[in-house]
Amino acid sequence: MDRLHCRIGALELKNPLIAAAGEHMIDASGVERAIRAGAGAVVVKSTNESQAAKDQLLRAEYMAFGPDWRPAAWGPDAPADVTLASRSGLAPQAFDQWLSQAVALDKVARQHDCLLVASLILADLDQAEGLARQVEQAGLRALEFNIGTPYASQAAKGAVSTELLPERVRMIVSRIRATVSLPLAIKLTGQSERVPELAEAAFDSGANSVVMAGRLLGFVPDVETLDPFLGTSLAVGGYWNLPLTCQWLALTRARLGRDAPLVGINGAQSGLDIARMLLSGASAVGMASAVMMRGYAAITESLADLDRWLAEKDLTAIEAIGISADRRKSFAEMPLIGEHWRKFIPA
């Protein structure tokens, strides 16, 4: 079997790179480019019934920060150590148009052994059940249900959701699970110290996989103008978030066991970053910001790098899952090494 082959529960993918949802996944041409670049799965830009969530896209702005917290160039030549910031919105199409486009794109995905995933974001749960039902009736093969957007507190009331309580997650997932039978991935926030508990609640209520963890909410003042950058709070992500995602993956694996299908997202920019998330317990890894900034070639290049790494280590993607997480020790288990700390203070 090809060493890139992977599984997310019962789903079989040709490789573990998921082209995750973003503005570059709104137009059909963008989704097709991700498919043709070789992604194992693609997630179309999320939607729901809220007009306020659609309007938010028309207010959206995007920028990259350098390590000095000043604006950096956006594009493929941006340095690797940029932080990406935005205030995003949902797919602008009416739901019927969005669904028709997704069905057409699923036919393209099938031709390239790629899984197309529909993505809904929670606003009103009754409405979400109806939309999920239509997704399944249209013949789409998998559904991501996002209950962990970073900016629900900043958006119009009821536009999107950031669920922080396990009991809420259980109730929401149970209702969606009772509505549809297709593979269901629940996307969770990273703005919580209870991510493993939220994941456990999702699995207990019928989720087939859990995506962890969404971008964080931040705020950066401009020291020149004294205004906040982009005028408000920001959804932020970047290379620096990879250790946080890997930590949540490892802790969730430790809590739920090796068989819980986890998808890592936020922080992966390369094939080696995908490897790092696999080693932390992910069955697959979502990439969005890196592709949106650097282009669809990031998918092809990351897969080539991952394949080379797997060959060097004589591993398959499936065999790599959780190796590092399972070797992780607690601080109390680490050996005493005397006053080693003295080597790390100024002379």
41 burial type by CB count under 10 A (0-12 exposed, 13-18 middle, 19+ buried): buried
Q: Which amino acid is at 331?
A: F
Whether residue 1 is predicted with pLDDT greater than 60 in this model: the reply is: no
Question: In the predicted model, what is the mean pLDDT of the chain?
Answer: 94
What pLDDT digit, counting tens, does each position of 181-206 carry? Answer: 999 999 999 888 899 999 999 999 99
Whether residue 322 is predicted with pLDDT greater than 70 in this model: the reply is: yes
- Residue whose C-alpha is closest to residue 138's, from 102, 113, 108: 102
What pLDDT digit, counting tens, does each position of 214-238 carry? Answer: 888 999 999 999 999 999 998 898 9
What pLDDT digit, counting tens, does each position of 8-25 carry? Answer: 999 999 999 999 999 999
What are the tokens at 138? 């249209």
pLDDT at residue number 157: 67
Residues counted in the chain: 347
Count the Cβ atoms, other than its own, within 10 Å of residue 161: 22
Q: What are phi and psi of 70, to 5 degrees?
A: -115, 155
Contacts 24+ apart (CB under 8 A), 5-8: 5/316, 5/317, 5/318, 6/40, 6/283, 6/284, 6/317, 6/318, 7/261, 7/283, 7/318, 8/183, 8/185, 8/208, 8/209, 8/261, 8/263, 8/283, 8/284
pTM: 0.95
Peptide bond into 275 cis (omega under 30): no
**Domains recognised in the chain with CATH numbers:** 6-344 (3.20.20.70)
- Give me the mean pLDDT over the 112-124 stretch: 96
35 contacts 108 by C-beta, under 8 angstroms:
yes
What pLDDT digit, counting tens, does each position of 281-291 carry? Answer: 999 999 999 99
Torsion sign across C-alpha atoms 235, 239, 240, 243: positive
- Residue whose C-alpha is closest to residue 72's, from 61, 179, 80: 80
